[in-house]
Structure 1
Amino acid sequence: MKIGLYFGSFNPIHIGHLVIANHIAEHSDLDQVWFVVTPHNPFKKKSSLLDNYQRLELVYRATKDYDKLKPSDIEFSLPQPNYTINTLVHLQEKYPNHEFSLIMGEDNLKSFHKWKNYDVILENHDIYVYPRISDNKVNTQFTGHKKIHVVNAPIMELSSTFIRNAIKTRKNVKPMLPENVWEYLDEMNFYR
């Protein structure tokens, strides 16, 4: 089974995340997309980041009606700070019959050459890149690379930061979130 790993804090997960993940699941050779919830880095100031399991609950609620989209807490049990290469090695050991790929925005691809063991990642894993509005071009060393697939996904100009700030100032963000995610945020008074 081919799995695409979509890493993020998902603080909160919103319809932009779902549109991109579902598009890639439906219009690529991937069988599933796993939302890998990144744990809070213990060395960083907490700010407005919800607890790991609260964010996982939001992802669970957002994806439960989609067969090809799954929540993942795989990084919760790994030492922090964690590197993507360690997560990939751990997943390959745990699921030897799965083939794992990365999903990232083109802005992440620009700094990909700075990632720990990026060359090993690229040698062993495909990368699916979705567009972001940007004037900067992708690093030329990755242009036309056989392991990098640019996906013609819809461009989503929606961010979790925007949503958190809007909630804090009592704006209606309900249309930007899956209904059951909005209900949970509202019920728990998150981000207010």
Structure 2
Amino acid sequence: MKIGLYFGTFNPIHIGHLTIANHIAEYSDLDKVWFVVTPHSPFKKKNSLLADRQRYEMVYRATYDYIKLEPSDIEFNLPQPNYTINTLAYLQEKYPQHEFALIMGEDNLKSFHKWKNYELILENHHIYVYPRISEGQVETQFDKHHKIHKIDAPIMELSSTFIRKAIKDGKNVRPMLPEHVWGYLDEMNFYR
């Protein structure tokens, strides 16, 4: 089985994440997309995150009705801060029957050359890139690489940061969140 790994803090997961993941699951050669809930990205401050299990619960609720989308807490038990190369090595060892690919926004591809062991990632994995509106250029080495696949997914300019701030400011963000995620956020009084 060919599985796309969509890494993120998902703080919270929103309809942009779901739309992109579902589009890639339906319009590429991937069989499934796993939302890998990241406990601590080396690029983010940990104090702004909800607890790992709370974010996993939101992803679980958001993907429950989608057969090709699944939550993953695989990184919760790996040393922190975690790097993608370590998670990929762990997954290959744990699930040798699967082929794993990365899913990332074009903005991340622009900084991919700064990732730990990015050459090794590219040597062993395909990368599916969805469009993002962002500054800067993609490195020439990645522009026409045979393992990098640009996906013509909808451009979703919605961010978890925007949603958190809007909730804090008392705005109605319900249409931006999957119904079950909104219910959980509201019930738990998150981000207020």
The size of the alignment, in residue pairs, is 192
Structure 1 residues 49, 114: closer, same or farther in 2, change over 3 A? same
| CA displacement, residues 90-124 of structure 1 (integer Å, 9 cap, x when unaligned) | 00011000000000001111111111111110000
Question: Bigger shift: 181-190 or 109-118?
Answer: 109-118
Alignment RMSD: 1.5
AA aligned to 1:14 is H
Contact conserved, 1:40 with 1:51, CA < 8 A, in 2? no
Q: Which residue of structure 2 lines up, in the alignment, with residue 122 of structure 1?
A: 122
Q: Which residue of structure 1 lines up, in the alignment, with residue 8 of structure 2?
A: 8
| CA displacement, residues 130-187 of structure 1 (integer Å, 9 cap, x when unaligned) | 0001242211111110000000000001000000000001100000000010000000
CA distance in 2, matches of 1:29, 1:152: 14
AA aligned to 1:117 is N
Q: Which residue of structure 2 lines up, in the alignment, with residue 95 of structure 1?
A: 95
AA aligned to 2:8 is G
SS at match of 1:47: helix
**Identical columns (%):** 80
1:79 paired with 2:93, answer no
5+ residue gaps, structure 1: none
Q: TM-score, normalised by structure 1?
A: 0.97
* Alpha-carbon shift at residue 47 of structure 1 (Å): 3.4
AA aligned to 2:143 is T
Structure 1 residues 15, 54: closer, same or farther in 2, change over 3 A? same
AA aligned to 1:179 is E
| CA displacement, residues 18-46 of structure 1 (integer Å, 9 cap, x when unaligned) | 00000000000000000000003699754
| CA displacement, residues 59-84 of structure 1 (integer Å, 9 cap, x when unaligned) | 00000000000000000000011110
Q: Which residue of structure 2 lines up, in the alignment, with residue 141 of structure 1?
A: 141
AA aligned to 2:39 is P
Contact conserved, 1:41 with 1:81, CA < 8 A, in 2? yes
Q: Which residue of structure 2 lines up, in the alignment, with residue 165 of structure 1?
A: 165
5+ residue gaps, structure 2: none
SS at match of 2:39: coil
Contact conserved, 2:40 with 2:81, CA < 8 A, in 1? no
